[in-house]
Chain A
Amino acid sequence: MINIIAKQEFRYQLLSWQSLIVSGLLFGLAFIFTANGVEFQGTARGGNVFINSPYMIAKFLIMMSILSLFIAPSYLASAVLKDRESKFDGLLFSTPINKKDYVAGRFIGSFSAFLIVMAASPIGMWLGTFWPWVVPETLGEQATMNYITVYLAIILPTVFTVSALIFAITLIFPRIIYAYLAALLLVVLFVTVDLSTSVSGVWDPFMGDLYASHTEYWTAAVRNSQMISISGELLINRIGWTAIGLLSLVIAYSFFSMRSNAKQAKVSQKHEKSESNLKAKVDLIADLSSSWHANSHWQQLLHCLKFEAFSVFKSVPFLVLMSLCLFLLFFSLTGRKTVYDVNTYPLTQFLLSAIRQALTGALMVVLAFYSAEIMWRERRCKINGVMDALPTPNWVFVVSKVGALVLVMLAIVALGITLAIGLQLVSGHYDLQLDLYIGRGLIYYPIAYIYLAILACFLQVMSNNRVIGMLAFIFFIGLLTLSRDLLGIEHMLLSYGLPGVWAPLSEMNPNSRLATAGIWLRVYWGAIAGMLLMLTYMFYTRGTAQSMRFRLKKLTAFKTKGYAIVSSILLVIFVSAGSFIYYNTNVINHYRSSLDLEQLNLDYEERYKQYANLPMPSFVEVKIDVDIFPIKRRIEARSTQILENKTDEDINVIHLIFPLQAQVVSVDVQGANLTSVDESLAYYIFNLAKPMLAGEKRTLTFETLIAHQGFTNNSQDIRLVRNGSFFGNNLLAPRIGFHNALLIRDNKKRKSYGLDPLPRVPSIEDTHLHHKNYVSHDSDFVKFETTVSTIAGQQAIAPGYLIKQWQAGDREYFHYKMDKPIMNYYSYLSADYAVKRDVVNGIKVDVYYHKTHEYNVDRMIESAKDSLSYYSKAFSPYQYKQLRILEFPGYQTLARAYPNTIAFSENIGFVADQRDPHQIDLPYYVTAHEVAHQWWAHQVMAANAQGGTMVVETLAQYSALMVMEKKYGKHQLRKFLKSELDKYLRGRGKESEGELPLYKVEDQPYIHYRKGGLVMYALTDYLGEDVVNRALKRFVENHAFKSTPYAISTDFIGYLKEETAGKHDELIDDMFKRITMFDLKFDNGTVTELPDGRFKVTINVEASKHYEDAIGNKTSATLNMPIDIGLFTRNPSTRGFTESDVIVLNKHQLVSGTNTLEFIVNKKPLFAGIDPYNKLIDTQSDDNVGELLVAGQ
């Protein structure tokens, strides 16, 4: 019997339009994914990971398996519900079919049909590789088995679990909404596991989180060759969820009864008398007639809105949903992590963005699910026969339904805002900024979703099929999201409902101008949404579904007066808002799609590459006056700069390239004629009447103007703002001569344009380029002087010392001059600042901050003082008399060191909540790093060659680590080191062109910051701080302020080897010149108490070492070196671990393989570990420390 039911169900479900459409969609997506692999390979982590590699197959199919949630209800739930809905249940359940056959048969049938439908994605993916126009470079070796393995081992359990849960839920609660609710729960669980670090990936029903974390450190070679093995956590996940699926089926089976419960109406005797009194009072000739008047339909609308909204609010699914949102919000609001897991103070701007992060997914899901639910409610309840014949116009029904959906979404957002305000009050933050909560939180943010909700309802009505309507909506969203990448549609006018315009908030700059584009866009979309709403109620189905031809006739309603007026008003709004946006993005501003931008790069290369090797002069003196108009959004710059011919050739032409954002008001080169102006690229060519001889100097004068108007399509200008402007010379001043920075740098893209690949950075062996630094190809150290003005009430700051300050009219003027040559790299900041000043060793330390952001100012000052003292002593004296730290709005999260001036983002340290002493001291660390750049960049500058960023960033990272170690002690750095290690390993997993050893780093942040800091710290541990600092001291002595040549990484490595007299060459080479990976593991260990009260500890540790090449191919190596072994009373990874928990920590000579070590100690250790502080690079860094067994127990 089971067989028959299952077979029949299977055929019913599989041979349907729905299956055809859904599997077609899945097949299509997967097919496009592989056939068009070039588009996606770029987005695939690893870059040169093949689209048909085991890694990509599993990754893509796992992603696709998430879609199963949206599809499952229409198979599994319908297998249960179709009998009830068609009222066939009574008949069916009275047949001799028993419960077991019915439940099992229906499940097996619908599950197998569903499984086959889901198989469309691996099949599509596989067939995609045979597409004749597939780009062969995207494909690796074909292994059909991989698709089958992934489908059976990873996808099958997911599909089973999803099916079982949905089927079970529907058996117990026979309503489709509960099936979707179960799906929603799983989505939320998935999102939560994905976002939260505290919830184990085992709980991810799709295994996506575990898959990501287990493959995170995989290099391209591994991704291409290795199929993930389902063991350990992954096996637990697969088996666990399958078990949950089975269990839910068993539970549901025991709950399910084929007999429907007869409900006995309770009869209450109490009120019988008063009831009959009431009944007697009823007027039996009361008028039944309706009273139509002008407001009738509005009254109906109001009533229906209440009715619809309450029917959602009171429903169990909604309450469950709200509690899920509560859960998401709680995580998001309390976890406002910046970097290094440091939380920020609960400023409204962060809480709003936390709400957005928490709810965006939830709102999308709510509107996709509830639009279907709310539009189909009458038909699902079968009350549509009554409702559709009522004298209530369509618009009352549709507007009230959409309105209810809007109220539901607003309720969810309001929940977030309430929580946020509660959180602020609890943490004693009383500056609530309610206007932001209302304006941004309740209006600006959700309105885009309201528009999408209208679209979702429109699609439901047009498709007249719940599942197809929902899929059409998901398809639409996918299309919009992908359109940027696939179709090149980038204009904001074409991105309906997607809140893509960036309008960041900053307490420092409360001005709302950044939201202007977004507001206009919302007006424009609003008109579209209005039209869609009108179409929705025109096409709203009353009674039996009609043919589209007949439905189209309803458009004639536009001829009636009311419709005509409303639609023409909407049309006027649509056209005028659209034109206004177009006027802003395309008329007063230049619209450039990313293809246009690429075209500029291509033009540049095509026209001017021929001049790449022309001799050009360099800047030697910069004098520039800058007027900042933060309200008028203007910057005027006038400059006189001295050029010098530093080559040994005669110079006949000078090429200047101005920044594209600036208008060139005038430009003049002494003794030269402007012979060619290329406006589109701002490329100016001057012919010199008399050649510029070697060593000769000429004057360049120019005026540039930045005048912002309206808004642009792509980027909001976050540099010139009402309060807190921050921009560098690259916005105002030209560069000399052709240079590579303006070319297309992505080699994959270059190839598609038929261009030769470019090296990321010139090779370190290419010595003739070592006289160019990597910051500016056209200048070495220059003299610098500037006068900057801004509006009254703000201070404008640039590198140099303030020589003079005055007022003229309503403007403030500041004249800065530097007494020593600096890199041609400077910036301007203008804001209403509060200032805190201090002095260390005669050096002034000033912090300029936004008046309410003094939280961490003292930490910054302390760090600056500690750093200046340490670096001055260890490396060389500080070259300036002053150091300034300046806050700028948190639109960018970074800090940047200019000569004697550090620009420091609001978000990275000024508003970090450092009250918890166990966290990494973020402002202290960032300050120390940036102060170190005054040495590593502003004293010793690196050549534009491989390894350049090692000289600048790695050494700054080292310096900061030393200052932090002095302040917090060497036992407190583990957290920082571990975090750096994880970032390095993750970074190499995402590497697109191949990893390089540290000394050849090509501006790869995961290497020069993360690995660099670790390597330097480990080396210092082996060689001694004094030795490393001596090497650095010599490095500074020989290379500071030197440009012929600039420093390279091997210079420093050479000093290091000299200082260690060749004793550690092998180690130094392992660290700098190879990609060396250690595999260190604590196996086990025992503690035995000795008769004398001391403790004998025996531990086994495993150690090995190997080298990897650029894409991760391994070569094993012999390990024979001392490595940290520690005994502790507390695990070093626990919060609050301190020096007092350390019993022993020193280095022991270890060899490859298992090493057994013995200790006799006075205190009883509980934990032991090899390299417990994660100084060495180890892909499995969590197994270094373990618990000790107590012998005899």
Chain B
Amino acid sequence: MLSIKALSHTYDNGVKAINNVNLTIPKGMFGLLGPNGAGKSSLMRTLATLQQPTAGHISFDGIDILKSPDDLRRQLGYLPQDFGVYPRGSAYDLLNHLAILKGLTDKQSRHKAVERLLVQTNLFEVRKKNVATFSGGMKQRFGIAQALLGKPKLIIVDEPTAGLDPQERNRFHNLLADIGEDIVVILSTHIVEDVADLCTNMAVLAEGEISTHGKPKELISALNGCVWTKTIHKSQLSEHQETFNVISDHLCSGQVEIRVHAKNQPDETFVKASPTLEDVYFIAISKEVCDD
């Protein structure tokens, strides 16, 4: 169990990337949703021992990860956002190299582990190819393979599906889903579907603060009866935005479909909608905006 207490991080230029975050992350897949620039990566990097926060505590299964980062690293699998590889070296060699650094020092079992991960991530056929030439999806799969080395108890995956095509994303989701439920997996993403598909727990981070957290289903059901929808003409959008608490709008065959958050039906033109995780997300981040 990962517990984050009063975590804050302020950059030298005064920007508060993380602002008093308190979270307890249980075993299983945990989704951290947030728009770009919300501080997700800062938080992920801090959890992955790569950044020292200005204040706060983080502990994982009793390890104070700020004090003894090396102890956490032995239990950590980390897939950073947008990572690169050496210009030369095959997938097999690089994974083998990383395996040694992760402590798989026994040659035989390491080779078996590397092969297993290559098969699982569907990279076995290209194991002799230079990783630098891999496509985005292949690289992300390679990334998850390396994160799984050493049987980590905490896996942090930072924006893994950004830029992947739907098929690759699907494949990636399947990989994550297979990881198992008795370890902590933190998935940071700005794509709501990722969380909806995979996570048993989630939090929304906006402007460096946790604006909401809980189980996706519970968060959705809390909105039951509070989400209304209406299809309007594009020109009416700004007018509606001023009048109602519009949480999202999207184009639908030339018209705009807006969703509004309200306890009661705003007026008769609105139709009750069944809430989605997207609504949860948009309400969470708009709340932050309104609070400012």
Chain B residues near A314: list those with CB within 8 A: 88
**Partner pick for A300 among B51, B100, B148, CB 8 A cutoff:** B100
Given contacts A282-B116, A289-B151, A382-B84, contact A392 B124 (CB under 8 A): no
B133 within 8 A of A: yes
Mark B14-54 against chain A: 1 for CB-CB distance below 8 A, else 0: 00000000000000000000000000000001001111100
From 364 to 382 in chain A, residues with beta carbon under 8 angstroms from any chain B beta carbon are: 377, 381-382
Q: How far is the CB of B83 from chain A (nearest CB, A)?
A: 5
**A91 interface residue (CB < 8 Å to B):** no
Q: Which residues of A contact B129 (CB under 8 A)?
A: 265
B150 x A283 contact (CB < 8 A): no
Q: Which residues of A contact B50 (CB under 8 A)?
A: 385, 388-389, 542-544
Distance in angstroms between the alpha carbons of A385 and B126 in the assembled complex: 23
Name the interface residues of B101-128: CB closer than 8 Å to any CB of A. 101-106, 109, 112-113, 115-120, 124-126
The residues of A that contact B119 with a CB separation of less than 8 Å are 279, 282, 284
How distant is B103 from chain A, measured CB to nearest CB, in Å? 3
A1156 interfacial contact with B, CB 8 Å: no
Judge whether A382 and B82 touch: CB under 8 Å.
Answer: yes
Asked if B83 and A290 make an inter-chain contact with CB atoms under 8 angstroms apart, the answer reads no
CB-defined contacts of B133 to chain A, threshold 8 Å: 263, 265
Give which listed residue, B48, B103, B126, contacts A389 with CB less than 8 A: B48
Complex-state Cα separation, A893 to B151, whole angstroms = 69
B263 interface residue (CB < 8 Å to A):
no
Contacts of B82 in A (CB 8 A): 87, 382
Contact check, A550 vs B74: say whether CB atoms are below 8 A apart.
Answer: no
In the bound assembly, the distance between CA atoms of A304 and B52 in angstroms comes to 26
Task: Tell whether A286 pairs with B112 under 8 Å between CB atoms, given A385-B50, A388-B50.
Answer: yes
> Out of A296, A382, A383, A542, which one reaches B103, CB within 8 Å?
A296
Q: Is B146 an interface residue (CB 8 A)?
A: yes
Instruction: Using CB atoms, name the residue of chain A closest to B126.
Output: A265
**At the interface, yes or no: B57 with Cβ under 8 Å from chain A?**
no
B-facing residues in A175-195 (Cβ within 8 Å): 175
0/1 per residue, B62-73, Cβ < 8 Å to A? 000000011001
Q: Is A291 an interface residue (CB 8 A)?
A: yes
Q: Is A307 an interface residue (CB 8 A)?
A: yes
Digitize A989-1018: 1 where CB-to-B-CB distance is under 8 Å, 0 elsewhere: 000000000000000000000000000000
| Contact partners of B106 in chain A: CB under 8 A | 291
Which of A265, A292, A386 contacts B74, CB < 8 Å?
A292
Verify if B160 is at the interface (C-beta below 8 Å from A). Answer: no
Question: What's the least CB distance linking A387 to chain B, in Å?
Answer: 7
On whether A393 and B83 interact (CB within 8 A), knowing A286-B113, A290-B150, the answer reads no
Instruction: Confirm or deny: A225 has a beta carbon within 8 angstroms of a beta carbon on chain B.
Output: no
**A-contact bits for B141-158, CB 8 A (1 contact / 0 none):** 001001011110000000
Contact A288 B124 (CB under 8 A): no
Cβ-based interface call for B76 (8 A)? yes
List, in ascending order, chain B residues with CB within 8 A of A390's CB: 73, 98, 101-102
Q: How would residues 278 to 308 of chain A score, 1 for a CB under 8 Å from any chain B CB and 0 otherwise?
A: 1100111111111111011001100110010
Task: Tell me whether A391 is interfacial, beta carbon within 8 Å.
Answer: yes
Bound state CA distance, A654 and B10, in angstroms? Answer: 84
Interface residue? A1038 (CB, 8 A): no
Check if B105 sits within 8 Å of A291, measured CB to CB. Answer: yes
Contacts A291-B106, A314-B88 given; indicate if A286 touches B116 (C-beta within 8 A). Answer: yes
Give the chain A neighbours of B103 by CB distance below 8 A: 290-292, 296, 300, 391
Q: Is A1118 part of the binding interface, using a Cβ–Cβ cutoff of 8 Å? A: no
Whether A290 touches B104, Cβ cut-off 8 Å, given contacts A386-B83, A391-B150, is yes
Q: B80: CB under 8 A from chain A?
A: yes
Contact B151 A290 (CB under 8 A): yes
**Do A287 and B45 have beta carbons less than 8 Å apart?**
no
Q: Is B97 an interface residue (CB 8 A)?
A: yes
Q: Does A547 contact B (CB under 8 A)?
A: yes
A289 to B51 Cα, complex, angstroms: 26
**Of B49, B70, B76, B80, which is in contact with the most chain A CB atoms at under 10 Å from its CB?**
B80
Contacts of A293 in B (CB 8 A): 105
B residues adjacent to A (C-beta < 8 A): 12, 45, 48-52, 69-70, 73-74, 76, 78-88, 97-98, 100-106, 109, 112-113, 115-120, 124-126, 129, 133, 143, 146, 148-151
Q: Which 3 pairs, one residue from A and one from B, show the smallest C-beta to C-beta distance?
A: A543-B50, A385-B80, A382-B84
Q: List 16 A-B contacts (CB under 8 A).
A: A87-B82, A288-B148, A288-B150, A289-B150, A291-B104, A303-B100, A377-B86, A381-B85, A385-B50, A386-B83, A386-B98, A388-B49, A389-B48, A391-B76, A543-B48, A550-B52
